[in-house]
Structures are given as structure tokens and as C-alpha cells.
Amino acid sequence: MQMIIQILVMFIMLIASISDIKKMEIPVFLLGGTGVLAFLNMLLAIVFGSFAAEDVMSLMPGALMILISIISRGELGLADGIMMMSLGPVFGLDRAVLGLMTALFFSCIYSIGILVLKKGNRKTRLPFIPFLTAGTGVAFICVNCLAI
């Protein structure tokens, strides 16, 4: 069941990525969908007795991103933090952090390319959900398929 939830979340993130690229916004129903799936995954962990402190800790990367969004007055999108907060319970703390770090690496490389090619400057706003989707996808593949 957990694998099905993970695949559904990845599908929703793919749709959210397209929306983020086109409109620089994420529809609320997509954020709500990942939130419902994260809640369902935590509920299943409680029912089957596999709920642990790490499940609560998995909310922290997203909570930190939301806090940064509030402090920076939206420089980091609130939807990015909300999406990240949903990823923790679905993929686990280790995979969520791996996905976030990979997303930050990808966005850094992309940003350097934009600066070098003079297609933008340090104030150029970038959609982050596509990077988060790619990073989470890499983490998903590494952990599930390569057994790392």
C-alpha cells in the first residue's frame, strides 16, 4: 500500500511541476491531495503498529521550509514547504531529506546556468517543485530500485 501512495504522490508532484513551470503557482487541490495521502500513510503506520518518532520528525524539513517562507516574506514559496511537509510521512525522513538535498543541488546547477548564460540575475524567481519532484524521484529510485 505504501508503494501505491508513493507513486500517487510522485504523479501529483509531476502535475504540480507542470503547473509551477507554467503559472509559478500550485493549485490547492494538488497540495491537499499530497496532504491527504501523507495523512493516510501516517494513519496506516499507526494501524499496523509501525508508527515511530521518525514519522513525526519527517515533518520537520517541510516545517522548516514553511518557516523560512514566512520569515523571508515569500522568497521561498509556501507551497514548496507544504509539499515538502507532505513528502516526509510518505517517503520517510531519510528519503525526504535526500530528495530535498538533491533538489537543492539541481536548482543550484540550473541557477548557475542561468547566471552564466545571462538569462536572469540573482533575483530571478524559479519554480522549485520541478526540482523537488526530480530530487524525490532520484531518492525514490535510489532507495527502492538500487537498494542503497
pLDDT in tens, 84-115: 999 999 999 999 999 999 999 999 999 999 99
State the number of CA atoms in the 13 A half-sphere of 48 facing the CB.
9
Query: Looking at residue 142, what is its pLDDT?
Result: 84
The three grid cell numbers given for residue 93, joined into one nine-digit string: 525522513
Mean pLDDT of the chain: 91
Rounded percentage of the chain residues whose pLDDT exceeds 90: 72
Number of H helices, E strands in the chain: 7, 0
What is the rounded distance in angstroms from the CA atom of residue 64 to the CA atom of residue 40? Answer: 22
* pLDDT bucket at 148, cuts 50 / 70 / 90: low
Report the candidate in 92, 9, 81 with the shortest Cα–Cα distance to residue 45: 92
Q: What is the pTM of this model?
A: 0.90
